[in-house]
Amino acid sequence: MRVTLNGEDVEFESPTTVDDVIAALGIERRGVAVSLDREIVPRSRWATTPLAEGAQVEVLAAAAGG
């Protein structure tokens, strides 16, 4: 299945959930927000929210600094 992840085409095995994408990226879940087709997905639904072919996923991580 092909999705757009942070503006780039990426291939995933299907079925894939938002949680699977975060795991594949290997990033810390804390301080991360996910948008699926321009809608924020609450962390409590990452494991149960499937991705469809052509989905647009944006993963944003908070960064400390000044």
Tell me the CATH number at 41.
3.10.20.30
Q: Tell whether 52 is covered by a domain.
A: yes
Domain count, the chain: 1
pLDDT band at 66 (very low <50, low <70, confident <90, very high): low
Residue 38: domain span: 2-61
**How confident is the model at residue 4, as a pLDDT?**
96
Q: Tell whether 66 is covered by a domain.
A: no
Determine what percent of the chain is predicted with pLDDT higher than 70. Answer: 98
For 17-23, what is the mean pLDDT?
A: 94
Look over the chain and give the mean of its residue pLDDT values, rounded to a whole number: 93
Give yes or no for a contact between 8 and 58, defined as CB atoms under 8 angstroms apart. Answer: no
> Is 70 exceeded by the pLDDT of residue 56?
yes
Supply the pTM of this predicted model.
0.87
